[in-house]
């Protein structure tokens, strides 16, 4: 049952790219204020839970296994190792196809002026890039859900929110390259499947080796991944969609909600 819950959460987070795809087809204007606050909220949730809860649990496990000094060093190494992993993934993606470039529903009109070949290439590369980004997020959500369900739910919601604009970024160019809403939605939907695939890989490869030591390393890396995503994707995207202060207000609200939810589980 715990495994089904973990997979279900990961599936929910990943397939929210389909929500962004649907928004691109059925709305005429992007609610930029709402997206700015929502993305800031997601960043706040991830930053708070990573530093206050996930990092601490990683350190507790590693210190228990390795001793205070070695355990503390291992925690910091795994934390920055998680950041390095996502940074290397970013580096491998051509900048022109990076999903960090934000799209709005209004960009549909601009997209009409571009060649079909160029649009299709942009959409396909964006779908691939989103899929690659979602893979480590799937592992992080799944492992968190198995060991700490109380923190996995807000993490999954935060990831789901930040997948919505990525769904728009995939759907807009593919739709205007093919004229096919169904095809654009399918590509957006498939890119989100990388998240549950990441969970499956995490289950098949990592689970047989999970003990206090590997749990601490994985949780330390998850904290690093979440912080990197927040600082590199969520907050810059939130500020691109709306006023600077809206993203900060959203981030503070996310931290407050996460703090309150953790207090309920004490």
* Distance (Å, whole) CA 140 – CA 85: 12
Q: How many CB atoms lie within 10 A of CB 120?
A: 18
1 pLDDT more than 80 = no
Kindly tell me if the per-residue pLDDT of 43 is higher than 80.
Answer: yes
CA distance 221 to 223: 5
Give a yes or no: residue 253 inside a domain: yes
The verdict on residue 28 lying in a domain is no
pLDDT at 225: 87
pLDDT in tens, 119-141: 677 667 667 777 777 777 787 78
- Other C-beta atoms closer than 10 Å to the C-beta of 122 total 23
Residue 42 has a pLDDT of 82
- Say what the pTM is: 0.72
pLDDT score of 27: 58
CB 200: neighbour CB atoms within 10 A?
15
Q: Which residue has the higher pLDDT, 228 or 111?
A: 228
Task: For residue range 44-89, list pLDDT tens digits in order.
Answer: 888 998 899 889 989 999 999 999 999 999 999 999 999 998 888 7
* Chain position carrying tokens 């969520």: 234
Residue 123 lies in a domain: yes
Q: Write the DSSP string, 180-213.
A: -HHHHHHHHHHHHTHHHHHHHHIIIIIGGG-SHH
Is 205 a domain residue? yes
CA distance 198 to 153: 17
| Dist. CA 197–CA 205, nearest whole Å | 12
pLDDT averaged over every residue in the chain? 78
At residue 170, does pLDDT exceed 90? no
- pLDDT at residue number 30: 56
With a pLDDT cut of 90, the percent of the chain lying above it is 15
d(CA 79, CA 23): 35
Is 31 among the domain residues? no
HSE at residue 231, side-chain half, CA atoms within 13 A, is 12
Domain of 63 in residue numbering reads as 2-23+37-264
Residue 184 pLDDT grade (very low, low, confident, very high; cuts 50, 70, 90): confident
**Number of C-beta neighbours around residue 114 at 10 A:** 14
Is the residue at 184 inside a domain?
Answer: yes
Q: Structural domain tally of the chain?
A: 1
On whether residue 29 sits in a domain, the answer given is no
In a domain, 30, yes or no: no
pLDDT of residue 226: 86
pLDDT digits (tens, 9 = 90+) for 145-158: 877 777 777 778 88
Calpha distance 25→40 (Å, rounded): 24
C-alpha angle 131/137/186, rounded to 5°? 30
CB–CB of 101/161 below 8 Å? no
């Amino acid at each position: 049952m715990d495994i089904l819950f973990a997979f279900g959460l990961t599936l929910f987070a990943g397939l929210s790219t389909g929500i962004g795809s649907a928004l691109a087809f059925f709305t005429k204007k992007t609610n930029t204020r709402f997206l700015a606050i929502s993305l800031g909220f997601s960043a706040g949730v991830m930053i708070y839970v990573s530093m206050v809860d996930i990092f601490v649990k990683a350190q507790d496990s590693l210190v228990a296994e390795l001793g205070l000094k070695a355990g503390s060093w291992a925690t910091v190494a795994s934390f920055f190792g998680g950041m390095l992993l996502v940074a290397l993934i970013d580096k491998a993606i051509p900048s022109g196809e990076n999903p960090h470039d934000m799209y709005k529903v209004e960009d549909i009109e601009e997209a009409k002026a571009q060649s079909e070949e160029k649009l299709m290439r942009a959409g396909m590369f964006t779908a691939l890039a989103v899929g690659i980004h979602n893979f480590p997020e799937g592992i992080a959500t799944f492992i968190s859900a198995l060991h700490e369900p109380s923190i996995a739910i807000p993490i999954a919601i935060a990831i789901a929110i930040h997948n919505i604009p990525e769904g728009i970024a995939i759907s807009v160019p593919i739709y205007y390259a093919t004229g096919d809403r169904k095809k654009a939605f399918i590509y957006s939907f498939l890119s989100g499947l990388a998240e549950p695939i990441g969970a499956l890989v995490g289950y098949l490869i990592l689970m047989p080796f999970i003990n206090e030591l590997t749990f601490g390393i994985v949780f330390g890396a998850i904290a690093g991944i979440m912080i990197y995503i927040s600082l590199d994707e969520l907050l810059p995207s939130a500020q691109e969609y709306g006023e600077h202060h809206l993203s900060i207000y959203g981030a503070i609200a996310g931290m407050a909600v996460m703090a309150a939810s953790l207090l309920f589980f004490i």
